[in-house]
Structures are given as C-alpha cells and as structure tokens.
Amino acid sequence: GDSVTQMEGPVTLSEEAFLTINCTYTATGYPSLFWYVQYPGEGLQLLLKATKADDKGSNKGFEATYRKETTSFHLEKGSVQVSDSAVYFCALLPTNFGNEKLTFGTGTRLTIIP
C-alpha cells in the first residue's frame, strides 16, 4: 500500500539556519504530494502542494519539489524563524479517483531557537 516516510524528529535549529526535512513516498502512479504544518494546539494547515513530477510547491519561504525519480518531496527553507516552530507532516493523495485517503508521514517536530 501507499506509505510516506519522513525524517525522524525532533529537529532543533538556530534562527536563520537552513532547513531540510526529508520525505520519501511509496505509491503507484503519480500521487499528489503535500506538506501540512501543525502549530501547538491547532489543526493542520496546508503549507504547499505539488501534483505532478518536477512541480515545485512554495509558500511562506518554504519549497518542495516533486521528484519522481527519487520518490521524494523534501521540504526546504533558506532561513528559518522562531515562528516556524511546529510539527510538519508530509502526505500523499493517491492517483485513483474515489480514493481520497490522505496518507501521512509520522510528522517532524521542528523547534527554532533564537
């Protein structure tokens, strides 16, 4: 079945450091890929998405590129801020119509220290 493997956390970085959170997936066909962010005590917010190979999703300084050849969708940001501290979930939505089940990774807790 479909699966998403995320970089183990927690990750702690200093403000203005470069961030990479790795995400790889297993799925048939060409799933859509997403990054969601969850701030403490809140629901999930869609951060960015990509729906086909080589697409780059970007938002709020975060970027991720859909790499079919390496089945990856790594999240990057050039300079993190304290306000980026949250849990980040990589997720995929399958190709087959009618299967709306998002498959999530286990989440990566990110803490940015001033």
Partner 1 sequence: DAMVIQNPRYQVTQFGKPVTLSCSQTLNHNVMYWYQQKSSQAPKLLFHYYDKDFNNEADTPDNFQSRRPNTSFCFLDIRSPGLGDAAMYLCATSRDRGRASEQYFGPGTRLTVT
Which residues of the chain form contacts with partner 1 (CB under 8 A)?
30-32, 34, 36, 41-46, 49, 51, 89, 93-95, 97-98, 100-102, 104-107
DSSP-assigned letters across all residues of the chain? --EEEE--S-EEEETT--EEE-EEEE-SS--EEEEEEE-TT--EEEEEEE-STT-EEEETTEEEE-BTTTTB--EEESS--GGG-EEEEEEEE-SSTT---PEE---EEEEEE-
Please state the closest distance from residue 48 (CB atom) to partner 1, in A.
10
Please state the closest distance from residue 55 (CB atom) to partner 1, in A.
11
Q: Which is nearer to partner 1, 45 or 79 (CB)?
A: 45
Q: Which is nearer to partner 1, 5 or 65 (CB)?
A: 5
Please state the closest distance from residue 43 (CB atom) to partner 1, in A.
4
Q: Which is nearer to partner 1, 72 or 103 (CB)?
A: 103
Q: Which is nearer to partner 1, 69 or 97 (CB)?
A: 97
